[in-house]
Chain A
Amino acid sequence: MAEPGSNRTPETGAFFQRDRQWHPPAFTPGYKSSVLRSPQKALLSFDNTLSELTGPVFGHAMIGERDNDLIHNFAKPGESAIGERIIVHGRVLDERGVGVPGALLEFWQANAGGRYRHKKDGYLAPLDPNFGGCGRTLTGEDGAYAFRTVRPGPYPWPNGPNDWRPAHIHFSLFGHGFAQRLITQMYFEGDPLIWRCPIVGGIRDKAAVEALIAALDMQSTIPMDALAYKFDIVLRGRRSTLFENRPEGN
Chain B
Amino acid sequence: MAQPLDRPKESPSQTAGPYVHIGLTPNFCGIGGVYENDLGSAMVNERTKGERIELRIRVLDGTGTPLKDALIEIWQADADGLYNSPAELRGTADPNFHGWGRCPTDMETGLCIFETIKPGRVPFRDGRLMAPHITLWIVARGINLGLHTRLYFSDEEKANAEDPILARIEHRVRVPTLIAEREGNAYVFDVHLQGEKETVFFDS
A44 and B169 within 8 A (CB):
yes
> When A10-B87, A73-B34, A179-B148 are in contact, do A37 and B143 touch as well, CB less than 8 Å?
yes
Write out the residue numbers on chain A whose beta carbons fall within 8 Å of the beta carbon of B12.
22-24, 184, 203, 208-209, 211-212
Q: Tell me if B181 is interfacial: C-beta within 8 Å of chain A.
A: no
B75 and A108 within 8 A (CB):
no
Interface secondary structure of B, over-half rule: loop
B193 and A37 within 8 A (CB):
yes
How long is the Cα–Cα vector from A200 to B19 in the complex, in angstroms? 17
Residue among B11, B100, B146, B168 facing the most chain A CB atoms (10 A cut-off): B11
> When A44-B203, A57-B86 are in contact, do A38 and B146 touch as well, CB less than 8 Å?
no
Interface size class of B (residues with CB under 8 A): 35 or more
How long is the Cα–Cα vector from A64 to B37 in the complex, in angstroms? 11
Write out the residue numbers on chain A whose beta carbons fall within 8 Å of the beta carbon of B179.
none
Chain A nearest CB from B14 CB (Å) reads: 4
B 80-105 to A, binary, CB cutoff 8 A, 1 in contact else 0: 00011111110011000011100000
Write out the residue numbers on chain B whose beta carbons fall within 8 Å of the beta carbon of A108.
19-20, 22-24
Chain B nearest CB from A195 CB (Å) reads: 15
Q: Tell me if A185 is interfacial: C-beta within 8 Å of chain B.
A: yes
Write out the residue numbers on chain A whose beta carbons fall within 8 Å of the beta carbon of B77.
50-51
Q: Find A39's partner among B84, B87, B194, B204 (CB 8 Å cutoff).
A: B194
23 example contacts (A-B, Cβ-Cβ < 8 A) are as follows A11-B87, A22-B12, A23-B10, A33-B142, A36-B142, A37-B193, A38-B194, A41-B200, A46-B202, A47-B125, A49-B165, A51-B122, A51-B135, A55-B75, A95-B9, A121-B19, A176-B86, A176-B87, A183-B13, A183-B15, A211-B9, A234-B11, A235-B11
Residues of chain A having any CB pair with chain B under 8 Å: 1-3, 6, 8, 10-12, 17-20, 22-26, 28, 31-41, 43-58, 62, 64, 67, 73-74, 93, 95-97, 106-108, 116-121, 132-134, 136, 170, 172, 176-179, 181-185, 199-200, 202-203, 208-209, 211-212, 232-237
Residues of chain B having any CB pair with chain A under 8 Å: 6-24, 26, 29-31, 33-36, 39, 61-63, 67, 69, 73, 75, 77, 83-89, 92-93, 98-100, 122-125, 130, 133, 135, 137, 139-148, 150, 165, 168-169, 174, 193-194, 198-204
